[in-house]
């Protein structure tokens, strides 16, 4: 959720990498520059549909910048040689 506008951005189901009771890993979509709270909204528990949705919020604020500071990529140039560079 954007902390300034309170606009929520829903993650597509295909962007949920891991969804276990004690671990959730998602791909965060491209967002406009700003600060965000990460919320996880769930309505299932132990395989059963809950009457009301539950929301958990990460206690850290996430910041999206207009331009990434730097992106670190690792490229495999041959089976036994790795080349690292910054984009």
Q: What's the token pair of residue 34?
A: 């700003």
Residue 83's pLDDT is 41
Distance of CA 84 to CAs 67, 69, 76, 78, Å?
Answer: 21, 17, 9, 13
What's the pTM value of the predicted model, to 2 decimals? Answer: 0.61
Q: What is the pLDDT of residue 67?
A: 57
- What are the pLDDT digits (tens) for 28-57? 888 888 999 988 888 877 778 888 888 888
**% residues pLDDT > 90 (the chain):** 14
């Amino acid at each position: 959720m954007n902390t300034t506008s309170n606009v929520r951005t829903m993650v597509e189901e295909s962007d949920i990498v891991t969804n276990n009771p004690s671990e959730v890993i998602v791909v965060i979509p491209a967002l406009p520059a700003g600060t965000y709270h990460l919320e996880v909204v769930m309505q299932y528990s132990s395989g059963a549909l809950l009457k009301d949705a539950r929301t958990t919020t990460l206690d850290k604020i996430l910041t999206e910048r207009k331009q990434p500071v730097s992106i670190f990529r690792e490229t495999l140039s041959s089976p036994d040689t790795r080349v690292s560079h910054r984009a």
